[in-house]
Amino acid sequence: MNDPYIVLAAILFTIGLVGFLIRRNALVIFMSVELMLNACNLVFISMSQVHGILDGQVAAFFVMVVAAAEVVVGLSIILMIYRSRRSTSVDNLTAMKH
Amino acid sequence: MTLLETLDPVAATGAFAFAWLLIAIPAAIAALLLIAGKVTNGFGHFIATLAPFASFVLAVVYFADLLGADPSERAVELTLFTWISSGAWTLTAGLLIDPLSILFVLLITFVGGLIHIYSIGYMAHDPNRRRFFAYLNLFIAAMLILVLADSYLVLFIGWEGVGLASYLLISFWQERPSAATAGKKAFVVNRIGDLGLLMAIFSMLMLFGTTNFQAVDAGAELIPGHWATLIGFFLLLAACGKSAQVPLQSWLLDAMEGPTPVSALIHAATMVTAGVYLVVRSNALYAQTPTAQIAVALVGTVTLLAGAWIGCAKDDIKKVLAGSTMSQIGYMILAAGIGPAGYAFAIFHLLTHGFFKATMFLGAGSVMHGMNDDTDMRRFGALRKAMPITFVTFAVGYLAIIGFPFFSGFYSKDHIIEAAWANQPVLGVLALIGAGVTAFYMTRLMFMTFLGQARWKDGVHPHESPLSMGVPLIILAVGSFIGGMALNGWIGGWLADAVGAEAPEHASWLPHITVLGIITLLVVAAGVALGWYLFGRQEIPTTAPAGSILTKIGRHDLYADTVNEAIFMRPGVALANGVATLDDVAIDGAVNASGRLPGALGGRVKLLENGYVRTYGLTMVCGAVLVGLSLALSRLV
């Protein structure tokens, strides 16, 4: 009875993954990462429901906290990059190339 | 095996407590001249000349003390300091003054001092005279350490010091490639001998736990016979290296590249006698091993004949004398190989040889001085009028070396021939032949240099040398004349205890007339006559004739260098080249390849770092998928 949730989570994860791989805008990539994280959260909570234990829900909370912290740091980095380069395209950020 | 009579040394008291000054004086002067540098250019050679004489005066005092002492107390030991203290071993450094070493000290300091005086004149025009005198003093100091040491280990310091000084002096004119090469050759050949001495020292440390002469003498008869033989051969190898005995003789002839006083001091009077000293000092060991003793005697005999052969063939006056040095040292080694009966005679001949060979070498230097440094005897001749002092003193040396009655060599060489005849008749006969050959080549030298017609090169005006060179010649010549008579009746008894021999019955300065003595004289006379017949009657060509096969072999030093090159040098060079190639190709190749491999790998891997986030992301995804797959698969299994 939880299959639809798992399917939904898989769809969300795939959308996030593809977005992460093909988009150039750093903000969009960020959103895609969030999408994947939340897909994982959905699986955690569904499985918690299935097994009747709360571990999955605890894990989901952890993920949310970490994701929030990550957004704070990540968005400020992206903002700084935008300020200095007037662009958020990740293809221009190749300073770490060999 | 009987217990040998050896002297138990008494502790040093009184003047003997300052015996280290013998060594310290020349060593300090050498250091001063080398460190102070140009400041001492003006007076360096004078203080350097005083140093050996200061040591000589001190040595005379000690000699007088020993002479006055009871024969059983004629060995004085002065312990200087604890050198090595490690675990069970405590090795001390000390000096031993006994009848044997004091004779050497007297010879070294006196003849050495005269050679210093001579060098003042001989090296007067050399810009590096100060350095020369510093090296001479260094040599005297090293040689004194060698003979005064109370253990083989301390002796080894002097042994190496002598090798170093000899290297520095042979290649003194280092701007000449031949001199530089000769110095290196002497150094390398001496190293082979040093190997022998080192092995002997290691063996002694293993067997006795010390290298002190007394301890080794006392322990010699307690060790297994094969060890005594082995140490005997090690010491023989060492003696061969230092004393230029076959098969390590090849350096001596090249060593004539050094200034002539060096040839006189090092390669005639003192350094080359170190091997004889070593063998005589090790008499207790050799007493346990007849095999090694025979080997010593054989080496001596072979060398005395080889040296005489070379002496016959050379036209270079210094090389003739070098050959004769080899030959005379061969006599000493032969005498030392005979055993207790010969030790005193070896030392006796060593002392007389020190005088007459120094006379002749310095005389040769004087001739060269007057002949614009030419050494080719074919361009000499008729120098007796131009250089009367040199001629007379050289003639005394000549009479001494051939063993003319009442001259010093007459006494010392006859003893050796007689002792050899009594112990090993074959060696005695060979030594007798050697005496005849010696007479022949020395007569040849005399005729070619001082007598006959003048064959001087154009522009050469022979003249007598300055007084600073003449006076040492005269003193040495007097020593060459009276040395034999003075020592003949005395030296046997003096050395008897120190070398473990029995004191001889009363001997006097009068020659002991025996059948063998008369035969020896006849053989010598025959050699002189042959020399006169071939070189005294007729004009000597200024270019060397082709000569017989024997002459050719002699001119090439019996092909010793060729043999050494073929057996040791060429295979050695080939081996070194092979190893170098192996190193370059195989080892360097492997190391470089192991370095290049990660480099190349890294070059490929770094292409993945293209800076695009999505590439990193894809890599991550692939990794995650792989991890997930492997987890899933492991679940299935």
- Which residue do the tokens 């395209």 mark? A89
Task: Show the tokens assigned to B543.
Answer: 């270019």
| Residues in chain A within 8 Å Cβ distance of B618 | 21
Q: Strands B10-11 and B76-86, how do they pair? A: parallel
Six-digit token pair at B449?
A: 């240099």
Query: In a 3-state reduction of DSSP, which class is residue B80?
Result: strand
Whether B613 sits inside 8 A of A93 (CB atoms) is: yes
% residues pLDDT > 70 (chain B): 97
Chain A residues with CB-CB distance to B611 below 8 A: 93-98
Residue of chain B with shortest Cα separation from A30 = B613
A65 min Cα distance to partner chain B (Å): 23
A98–B contact, CB cutoff 8 A: yes
Of B83, B18, B88, B84, the closest CA to residue B55 belongs to: B18
Position B505 scores a pLDDT of 61
Residue whose token pair is 């080889």: B306
Q: How far apart are CA B340 and CA B28, in angstroms?
A: 38
How many residues are listed for chain B in this entry?
637
Residue B306 has pLDDT above 90, yes or no: yes
Give the model's confidence band at B516: pLDDT under 50 very low, under 70 low, under 90 confident, else very high. confident
**Nearest-CB residue to B609 (from A20, A22, A98):** A98
B617 contacts on A by Cβ (under 8 Å): 20-21
Give the chain A residue nearest B602 (alpha carbons).
A98
Rg of chain B taking only CA atoms, in angstroms? 31
With CA atoms as reference, the chain B residue closest to A95 would be B611
A98·B612 Cβ contact <8 A = no
Say what the pLDDT of residue B300 is.
Answer: 94
B619 → chain A, closest CA residue? A21
- Per-residue pLDDT tens over the stretch A55-79: 999 999 999 999 999 999 999 999 9
What is the percent of chain B with per-residue pLDDT over 90, rounded to a whole number? Answer: 54
pLDDT tens sequence across B366-417: 999 888 888 888 888 888 888 999 999 999 999 999 998 889 988 889 889 9
Partners of A96 on chain B (C-beta within 8 Å) are 609, 611
A93 touches chain B (CB under 8 A): yes
- Average pLDDT for residues B47-74, to the nearest whole number? 91
Q: In sequence order, what are the beta bridge partners of B388?
A: none
Rounded to whole angstroms, the Cα distance separating B176 from B192 reads 25
Q: Compare CB distances from B610 to A22, A90, A97 and report the shortest one's residue.
A: A97
Please report residues of B whose CB lies closer than 8 A to that of A43.
none
Residue B178 has pLDDT above 70, yes or no: yes
In three-state form (DSSP H/G/I as H, E/B as E, the rest C), the secondary structure along B328-386 is HHHHHHHHHHHCHHHHHHHHHHHHHHHHHHHHHHHHHHHHHHHCCCCCEHHHCCCHHHH
- What pLDDT was estimated at residue B1? 33
How far off is chain B from A63, nearest CA to CA, in Å? 18
Contacting A with CB below 8 Å, chain B residues are: 606-607, 609-614, 617-618, 621
- In chain B, what residues touch A22 (CB-CB under 8 Å)? 614
What residues have CB less than 8 Å from B76, skipping those under 6 apart? B9, B10, B11, B12, B16, B19, B62, B66, B96, B97, B98
Q: Is the pLDDT of residue B4 over 50?
A: no
Q: Tell me whether residue A47 is exposed, middle or buried, using C-beta atoms within 10 angstroms of its C-beta: 0 to 12, 13 to 18, 19 or more.
A: middle
**Shortest Cα distance, chain A CAs vs residue B593, angstroms:** 24
Report whether B246 contacts B298 (CB < 8 A): no
Q: The domain A3-88 is classified under which CATH number: 3.40.50.2300, 1.10.620.20, 1.10.287.3510, 3.30.428.10? A: 1.10.287.3510
**A98 to chain B, minimum CA–CA distance in Å?**
6
ipTM: 0.83
Burial class of residue B139, CB neighbours in 10 A (0-12, 13-18, 19+): buried
Contact A98 B607 (CB under 8 A): yes
Whether residue B614 and residue A90 make contact (CB cut-off 8 A), yes or no, is yes
pTM: 0.79
Minimum CA–CA partner of A90 in chain B: B613
Whether pLDDT at B2 is above 50: no
Do the chains contact at B610 and A94, CB–CB below 8 Å?
yes
B413: exposed, middle or buried (Cβ count in 10 Å: 0-12, 13-18, 19+): buried
pLDDT band (50, 70, 90) for residue B3: very low
Distance from CA of A91 to the nearest CA of B (A): 6
pLDDT for B87 equals 83
Determine contact, residues B252/B244, Cβ cutoff 8 Å.
yes
Alpha carbons B487 and B51: distance in angstroms, whole number: 26
Is A93 within 8 Å of B609 when comparing Cβ atoms? no
- Whether the per-residue pLDDT at B235 is higher than 90: the answer is yes
HEC profile of A5-71: HHHHHHHHHHHHHHHHHHCCEHHHHHHHHHHHHHHHHHHHHHHHHHHCCCHHHHHHHHHHHHHHHHH
Is it the case that residue B503 has pLDDT exceeding 90? no
Q: How far apart are CA B141 and CA B360, in angstroms?
A: 24
**Contact between chains at B621 and A17 (C-beta distance less than 8 A):** yes
The alpha carbon of residue B566 is apart from the nearest alpha carbon of chain A, in Å, by 60
For residue B378, what are the CA distances in angstroms to B142, B317, B364, B453, B490? 38, 9, 14, 10, 42
Identify the bridge partners of residue B90 per DSSP, sorted by sequence position.
B85
**Helix segments in B37-128, DSSP class H:** 44-68, 99-122
> Touching check for A17 and chain B: CB below 8 Å?
yes
User: Which candidate from A20, A91, A98 shows the least CB-CB separation from B617?
Assistant: A20
Beta-carbon separation of A29 and B613 below 8 A:
yes
Of B332, B354, B318, nearest to B105 by C-alpha is B354
Quick one: pLDDT at residue B138? 94
CA distance A74 to chain B (A): 14
Q: How far is B604 from chain A (nearest CA, A)?
A: 11
pLDDT score of B38:
86
- Range B210-216 average pLDDT: 90
- Partner residues linked to B76 by β-bridges: B10, B97
pLDDT digit string, tens, across residues B464-498:
888 888 899 999 999 999 988 888 878 888 888 77
- Give the residue-averaged pLDDT of B456-470: 85
* pLDDT digits 0-9 by tens, B543-576: 888 778 888 888 888 888 888 888 888 999 999 9
Nearest CB to A94 within list B611, B617, B621: B611
Which chain A residues are closer than 8 Å to B607 by Cβ? 98
Which H or E run contains B95?
strand B89-97
Give the three-state DSSP class for A89: strand
B255-265: average pLDDT: 89
pLDDT at B460 over 50: yes
Task: Return d(Cα B78, Cα B13) in angstroms, integer.
Answer: 9
Q: Chain A residues with CB inside 8 Å of B625's CB?
A: none
List chain A domain ranges: 3-88
The closest alpha carbon to B283, from B205, B224, B234, B220, belongs to B220
- B598/B593 Cα distance (integer angstroms): 9
Query: Hey, what are B467's tokens?
Result: 């007084």
pLDDT at B55: 95
B552 vs B114 pLDDT, higher one: B114
Q: Please tell me which residue of chain A has the smallest CA distance to B620.
A: A21
Q: B613, B615, B618, B621: which to substitute to probe chain A, counting the most A Cβ within 10 Å?
A: B613
Report the pLDDT value the prediction gives residue B510, as an integer from 0 to 100.
66
Nearest CB to A21 within list B606, B609, B617: B617
Whether A97 and chain B come into contact, CB under 8 Å, resolves to yes
- Nearest-Cα residue of chain A relative to residue B615: A21
B605: which chain A residues are within 8 Å (Cβ-Cβ)?
Answer: none
B14 vs B588, residue with greater confidence: B588
Round the average pLDDT of chain B to a whole number and report it: 89
